[in-house]
Chains A and B, each alone.
Chain A
Amino acid sequence: MSFVVPVGPQHPALEEPEHFRFTVEGEEIVDVDFRLGYMHRGIEKAFEEKSFPRALYLAERICGICSGIHSIACVEAVEELAGVEAPRRARFLRTVLAELERVHSHLLWAGIAAHEIGFMTLFHLTWRDREHVLDVLEMLTGNRVNYAANKIGGVRFDVEPKHLGKISNVLDDLEEDALRYMDVFTSDRTITARCEGEGVLSKGEALRLATVGPTARASGVDEDMRRDDPFAAYGEIDVDVKTAEGGDVLANAEVRLSEILESINILRNAVEQLPEGPLSVDAPKKIPEGQATNRVEAPRGELLYHFKSDGGEKPSRGKVRTPTMANIPAIIEKLKGETIAEIPIVVASIDPCFCCTERVQIVDKNTGKTQTLTKKELREMREE
């Protein structure tokens, strides 16, 4: 006999509301249906209301974990529109910011994955080591997450000689930790028992469903925007793309942890080769007419920004495609045939990152039709 196990929008395993409906026979998942939109903030509509500098600050707040890469993608698209080129030192600093953020995002993922399989200690240890990276980011840009580091035409922070000491210490410790976690993730018997062979995505499927980022690289797809379509200063720093075979949760862990090691090398190169020069050039307030598309490699995969300007101060169209959107078909593929116990770890294996919702939504149990309460109705309900 099959019944529906609703997972989400509120569920301890999912940090952000996405709603999956699993029709299940016993413990085995037969069919998967999902609902997006709990997090739709109408950002693309808001882009059209704001001037370009303000749109940049909005872009930075789309994702709570990878806000830096969003602001880099957005600012580079606008610079392309405005025909402005950020100075070399600014591009190198943007690479430093992007890589530091990739390290702390992957460490965060390692903790969440450990939490999903019930390994609380690994969760605490990975997030403890992540604090060192956030301290470095706070020292450089003034805040742990929303860095406000970019402006059209350059960057607003700088790596001074007095920062170099701390940065190299943190990188050395991180390298040690990453190697240790790589060892733990791949050889601890209880972890491999839960992660090996779970949520498998074959390379053919990964290519057919156009998955991006570490999820695709875990299935053997050799694609990375940092090398294929270099942005910021990645053209001058060579990036060794890490892939793994198998496409299961363990392969995802291997790819992400080896990417941390790769990021540490990139960071060392970038900080050494930091060229002298200005931090930014001034940009026109009115952006000339035209359109620009820009792609970057966010920690979760390929992130695309598309801006159109009609010559005014405000973008006439702003489009963002976050990497998680591309990986949703991959979740469906991975979850079919799995058991309930595997839902959180398989969903977490693509490291989903959604954003937040506008209104309270009630899913009517039998008809399954959602009904949205506006602010007024919400207040009336409270007074009843």
Chain B
Amino acid sequence: MPKLIPDVLKNLFSKPFTLKYPFEKREPPENFRGKPKVDREKCVSCGLCERICPPGAITLDDEEKPVFDLGICIYCAECVDACPVEAIEKTKEYELGVYDRSKAISK
């Protein structure tokens, strides 16, 4: 007698484990490393984040504020640790698909 029958019947009458994404979304945990976001007022333009970013995804724009190229960023949150004034925070956003590469920017 196949072993899994009790399991399988239990599953049949219990709520499915999977979610109907995108209608039901899953809430990521508290320190989830999502899209990095900078608080432009707090930032003192020291450029530390630009130097520490492993793939080199951060460049300072004309107002000397960091701009994240999400196409290159590996979401490692090194910049969050490196920022002396904690101006950069890791958001919980993980839906970052874009059609136009130039839009994959986080100001």
**When A and B assemble into the complex, do they touch directly, with CB atoms less than 8 Å apart?**
yes
Residues on A facing B (Cβ under 8 Å):
53-54, 57, 121-122, 125, 128, 131, 135, 138-139, 142-143, 146, 148, 156, 180, 183-184, 187-190
A-contacting 9-mer, from B1-9, B41-49, B63-71, B97-105: B1-9
B32 CB to closest chain A CB (Å) equals: 6
B77 to A54, Cβ gap below 8 A?
Answer: no
- Number of contact residues on B: which range applies? 20 to 34
Docked CA distance A128–B15 (Å): 13
Contact of A142 among B2, B4, B17, B33 (CB under 8 A): B33
B32 to A143, Cβ gap below 8 A?
Answer: yes
Interface residues of A, dominant DSSP:
helix
Contacts of A135 in B (CB 8 A): 29
In the complex, whether B84 has a CB less than 8 A from a CB of chain A is no
Docked CA distance A142–B28 (Å): 9
| With A125-B7, A184-B4, A188-B2: A54-B32 Cβ-Cβ less than 8 Å | no
Docked CA distance A187–B2 (Å): 9
Contact of A143 among B8, B33, B81 (CB under 8 A): B33
B25 CB to closest chain A CB (Å) equals: 15
A188 to B32, Cβ gap below 8 A?
Answer: no
Identify the closest chain B residue to A55 (Cβ): B54
Identify the closest chain B residue to A53 (Cβ): B54
In the complex, whether B38 has a CB less than 8 A from a CB of chain A is no
In the complex, whether B90 has a CB less than 8 A from a CB of chain A is yes
| With A128-B17, A148-B76, A156-B81: A187-B32 Cβ-Cβ less than 8 Å | no
A188 to B77, Cβ gap below 8 A?
Answer: no
Contacts of A180 in B (CB 8 A): 7
Identify the closest chain A residue to B32 (Cβ): A142
Contacts of B31 in A (CB 8 A): 142
Q: Give residues 69-95 of B contacting A (CB, 8 Å).
A: 74-78, 81, 90
A156 CB to closest chain B CB (Å) equals: 7
Identify the closest chain B residue to A54 (Cβ): B54
Give 10 pairs: A residue, B residue, CB < 8 Å, sorted on A: A122-B4, A138-B29, A139-B30, A142-B77, A143-B32, A143-B33, A148-B74, A148-B78, A184-B3, A188-B4
Identify the closest chain B residue to A139 (Cβ): B29
Contacts of B30 in A (CB 8 A): 139
A124 CB to closest chain B CB (Å) equals: 9
> Contacts A57-B55, A142-B29 given; 8 further ones with Cβ under 8 A?
A54-B55, A128-B17, A139-B29, A146-B76, A148-B74, A148-B77, A183-B3, A187-B3
B28 to A138, Cβ gap below 8 A?
Answer: yes
Docked CA distance A189–B4 (Å): 11
| With A53-B54, A142-B77, A148-B76: A121-B32 Cβ-Cβ less than 8 Å | no
A121 to B8, Cβ gap below 8 A?
Answer: yes
A121 to B4, Cβ gap below 8 A?
Answer: yes
Contact of B2 among A54, A128, A146, A190 (CB under 8 A): A190
| With A138-B29, A189-B2: A146-B74 Cβ-Cβ less than 8 Å | yes
Docked CA distance A384–B39 (Å): 49
Docked CA distance A148–B78 (Å): 9
Contacts of A128 in B (CB 8 A): 17
Docked CA distance A139–B29 (Å): 6
Identify the closest chain B residue to A61 (Cβ): B74
A148 to B4, Cβ gap below 8 A?
Answer: no
A141 CB to closest chain B CB (Å) equals: 8
| With A143-B75, A148-B77, A183-B3: A138-B32 Cβ-Cβ less than 8 Å | yes
B74 CB to closest chain A CB (Å) equals: 6
Contacts of B75 in A (CB 8 A): 143, 148
Docked CA distance A84–B5 (Å): 55
